[in-house]
């Protein structure tokens, strides 16, 4: 239990940090891709949709799962707090409250990763919808 106690924060924060980095990378990559996008470079609607929706699934996975990773850290932290209380045989309100507040930081960090990822996903998905409409309009009425 001591190993778990020592490394749970590091492990959870590392996973959430990695998720945040990947989400940021996906958003930046999509924004750069959209800036240089040329509709004429795509032969079919399917190829166009595949190109513009790339990495959106990764963002969806991150915003869906980051709160659960944070919650896992919180649950483990609470288990450690109760385990320590059981070993000491002493129910000290101060140690309980401190243990629980430290455990909740994992949930807070999970939400801190999930919320911007969700906002970014929705903004990029809206951009994809607009680009799809532009592509459809340009293929129906090609410009000379």
Over residues 73-120, the pLDDT tens digits come to 999 988 888 888 888 777 777 877 877 887 899 999 999 999 999 999
The rounded distance, in Å, linking the Cα atoms of 142 and 137 is 8
Tell me the whole-structure pTM to 2 decimals: 0.86
Torsion-angle region of residue 90: left (phi > 0), alpha (psi -120 to 50) or beta? Answer: beta
Model confidence pLDDT, tens digit, residues 39-69: 888 999 999 999 999 999 999 999 999 999 9
The rounded distance, in Å, linking the Cα atoms of 102 and 96 is 10
């Amino acid at each position: 239990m001591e190993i778990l106690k020592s490394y749970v924060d590091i492990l959870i924060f590392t996973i959430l940090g990695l998720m945040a980095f990947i989400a940021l990378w996906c958003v930046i990559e999509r924004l750069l891709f959209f800036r240089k996008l040329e509709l004429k470079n795509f032969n079919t609607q399917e190829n166009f949709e595949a190109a513009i929706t790339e990495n959106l699934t990764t963002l969806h996975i991150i915003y869906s799962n980051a709160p659960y990773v944070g919650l896992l850290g919180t649950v483990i932290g609470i288990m450690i707090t109760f385990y320590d209380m059981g070993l000491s045989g002493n129910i000290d309100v101060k140690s309980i409250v401190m243990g629980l507040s430290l455990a909740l930081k994992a949930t807070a960090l999970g939400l801190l990763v999930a919320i911007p990822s969700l906002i970014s996903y929705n903004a990029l998905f809206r951009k994809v919808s607009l680009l799809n409409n532009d592509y459809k309009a340009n293929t129906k009425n090609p410009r000379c």
